[in-house]
Amino acid sequence: MNKIIVEGIKIYAHHGCMDEEAKLGGNYSVDVIIQANFEEAALTDNLKKTVDYVKVVEIVKREMAIRSKLIEAVGKRIVDAIHKELLVSMQKMGEYFPKVQVQVTKLNPPINGVVQSVSIIIEE
């Protein structure tokens, strides 16, 4: 099986439980790993036979723009949107349903102490 990895998508967003996070926002990094069979794409050089990672980035940006208190909720929305908008077409072509893993990382979270980041990973 093959993997497409879109790594280090940098986003400024307004997620978090505290009012300051809603107002000021913060920096995030998102990684997406999609496990799929893109052998035919490699042989035919046909974008329609694989996952368009430009669309992956568009989905991440769109979903990260919707405020949530929890990065868990944002990660779930990203996974669901990728399945719905990009991977259903692969399933219709006879592929098994590909796996998606999304990691959302909040950089420099505003918590007591010095913490570089907090991340969640959702895999479906």
**What band does 96 get if pLDDT is binned at 50, 70 and 90?**
low
Instruction: Tell me the C-alpha distance between 14 and 35, whole Å.
Output: 29
How many separate domains does the chain show? 1
Range of the domain at 91: 2-123
pTM of the model: 0.90
Instruction: Tell me the C-alpha distance between 122 and 33, whole Å.
Output: 10
Render pLDDT for 2-13 as a digit per residue (tens, 0 to 9).
899 999 999 999
What CATH number does residue 88 fall under? 3.30.1130.10
- The neighbouring-strand residues paired with 13 are 26
Amino acid at 111: I
Render pLDDT for 11-69 as a digit per residue (tens, 0 to 9).
999 999 988 888 899 999 999 999 888 888 899 999 888 888 999 999 999 999 999 99
Confidence at residue 92, expressed as pLDDT on a 0 to 100 scale: 53
